[in-house]
Structure 1
Amino acid sequence: MWIVNPFLESNQRMRTTVLTCTLWILWKCRNAKVFRSENESNQQVAARCHDDLLLWSNSCSTASDKSKLIEWSNFFLA
């Protein structure tokens, strides 16, 4: 996320969605570590972000928002 800065995303709703998703996944990862002593690799965390953004893209009201979320989800596969 340091290379492609989501804070520079021009669409505020998209910026909020990407950051919320990322923070949500990190929170779930933290809870897995604290409460279940599970360690998740960076690749697993990125894959979760990818999967969640793809799910969220299905609820987009416009085709441009959907394609932008898919583009962001693919960022996490790199």
Structure 2
Amino acid sequence: MIASFCNTSVTDWPKFLPLVTAAYNSSIHVFTRETPFFIMHGYDMRLPSDVGNLPEQEEHSLDIPQYKRELFNKLNLAHE
């Protein structure tokens, strides 16, 4: 991916590294059917294009044990 953006002398690759990393981490993997970002963090990466389309927040109380169980289940499913 980096080579497709670099100049012919391949000296400008460091400036493309963050963009290529973000593209890779937000792309769905063929075998896991999840993004690397989701597998590492348990939620999908929020991209700048998502900011205008954020769903309205529902009011709910924070139940940390329930959140931990749901996160564990999602990560376990992604691992399987």
- Larger Cα Rg: Structure 1 or Structure 2? 2
Which TM-score band (shorter chain)? Answer: 0.3 to 0.5
Higher relative contact order (CA 8 A, sep 6+): 1
More helix by share: 1
TM-score scaled by length of structure 2: 0.32
